[in-house]
């Protein structure tokens, strides 16, 4: 296909509760060895998947072309963040719960987009660094105009969901018998009992905790990816803003609490295609696909509820992932799904399924 120059991306409707972006990665080593052909092209917000007959267009809020750095429309880590990150933080500071998902087949570049490698840091580190940069800027501004009664508190947690069980990635001493239970509070909603929360005051503290958690995450080798994430990883930030206000001669403390959930999902796949003869991998794949299917149903139902006056049941409890993220998906929340796809013809079916 012919790759067109980048068309300026129209501003996405930030009032929408759910927004979707797609990112296409370069060929990996396996695809190069197979002599893979590129079957994906992008123009503006439209992603086109090419088959033998004709192209199939899909339109999203954003389409990011990261296949080749030589292309004029190449989307770098920084460009992807500038399109998505500032709005996420605007929502968090405004008091909304926010959620960012990375979705796609095994080896499609989800972890690269969310976490990054080396100097090419992903969405999570950039969001955390920008969060503290904004806090310092607002504190300096309020200190300068004499309204320094505004304070903040930031706490982070890092967990993984493996085979529908929750494990604290920042407490790696927990063994198989130490999986944590998900419970539901009457007011605050679902939570993980016993999950550690770590107060942080700068980005370096966040980066250290993130590195510690990544080392504990469950990964396995499959025929499509030597280091495949076999669990859903959730990096959660609880951001509390406190403001002292004068009302009728009294000083009142007002609190605004926002929860930012950054989720690197396990890879979706056709189990038979990559797990043939591997019983454990087959079981993992089935559980992963079931939870991802539930996530799709939940987001689809929420989108339909926004268009229809008829109240529909949202199947949060069908999966630990969706139940745990109930408060970040529905109600007072903003959700972005970043779908990662392969450009290779050998992954046509998986790419089509993702789109």
Active site members: 107, 109-112, 264, 267
**Nearest to residue 261, comparing CAs of 88, 134, 90?**
88
User: What would the two tokens of residue 258 be?
Assistant: 């926002």
User: What would the two tokens of residue 14 be?
Assistant: 């930030």
Q: What is the C-alpha to C-alpha distance for residues 271 and 273, in angstroms, rounded to an integer?
A: 5
User: What would the two tokens of residue 282 be?
Assistant: 């087959």
Signed CA dihedral, 257, 258, 264, 269: sign only: positive
Q: What is the C-alpha to C-alpha distance for residues 154 and 120, in angstroms, rounded to an integer?
A: 25
Maximal CA-CA distance, the chain:
75
User: What would the two tokens of residue 74 be?
Assistant: 């190449």
Q: What is the C-alpha to C-alpha distance for residues 32 and 26, in angstroms, rounded to an integer?
A: 10
**Paired strand residues for 64:** 23
Q: How many CB atoms lie within 10 A of CB 103?
A: 24
According to DSSP, residue 39 is labeled -
Q: How many angstroms separate the Cα of 200 from the Cα of each of 45, 148, 209, 268?
A: 37, 20, 10, 33
User: What would the two tokens of residue 200 be?
Assistant: 């942080």
**Paired strand residues for 257:** 240
Q: How many residues does the chain have?
A: 355
Signed CA dihedral, 90, 93, 96, 98: sign only: positive
According to DSSP, residue 193 is labeled T
**Is the CB of residue 304 less than 8 Å from the CB of residue 66?**
no
Identify the three-state secondary structure at position 301. Answer: helix
Q: What is the C-alpha to C-alpha distance for residues 125 and 338, in angstroms, rounded to an integer?
A: 16
């Amino acid at each position: 296909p012919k790759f067109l120059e980048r068309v300026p991306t129209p501003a996405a409707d930030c009032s929408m509760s759910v927004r979707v972006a797609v990112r296409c990665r370069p060929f990996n080593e396996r695809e190069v060895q197979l002599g893979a052909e590129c079957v994906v092209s992008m123009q503006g917000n439209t992603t086109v998947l090419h088959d033998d007959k004709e192209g199939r267009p899909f339109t999203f809020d954003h389409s990011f072309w990261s296949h080749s750095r030589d292309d004029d429309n190449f989307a770098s880590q920084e460009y992807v963040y500038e399109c998505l990150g500032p709005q996420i933080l605007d929502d968090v500071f405004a008091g909304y719960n926010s959620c960012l998902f990375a979705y796609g087949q095994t080896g499609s570049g989800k972890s690269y987009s969310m976490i990054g490698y080396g100097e090419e840091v992903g969405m999570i580190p950039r969001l955390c660094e920008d969060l503290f940069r904004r806090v310092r800027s607002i504190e300096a501004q309020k200190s300068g105009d004499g309204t320094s009664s505004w304070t903040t508190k930031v706490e982070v947690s890092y967990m993984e969901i493996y085979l529908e069980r929750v494990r604290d990635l920042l407490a790696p001493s927990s063994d198989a018998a130490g999986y944590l239970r998900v419970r539901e509070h009457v007011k605050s909603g679902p939570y993980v009992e016993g999950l550690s929360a770590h107060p942080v005051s700068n980005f370096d503290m966040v980066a250290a905790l993130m590195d510690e958690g990544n080392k504990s995450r469950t990964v396995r080798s499959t025929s499509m990816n030597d280091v495949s994430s076999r669990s859903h990883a959730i990096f959660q930030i609880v951001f509390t803003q406190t403001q002292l206000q004068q009302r009728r001669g009294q000083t009142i403390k007002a609190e605004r609490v926002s929860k930012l959930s950054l989720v690197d999902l396990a890879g979706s796949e056709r189990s038979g295609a990559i797990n043939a003869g591997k019983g454990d991998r087959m079981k993992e794949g089935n559980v992963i696909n079931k939870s991802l299917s539930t996530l799709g149903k939940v987001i689809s139902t929420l989108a339909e509820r926004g268009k229809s006056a008829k109240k529909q049941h949202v199947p949060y409890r069908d999966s630990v992932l969706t139940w745990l993220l109930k408060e970040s998906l529905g109600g007072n929340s903003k959700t972005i799904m970043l779908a990662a796809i392969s450009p290779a013809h050998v992954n046509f079916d998986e790419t089509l399924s993702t789109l």
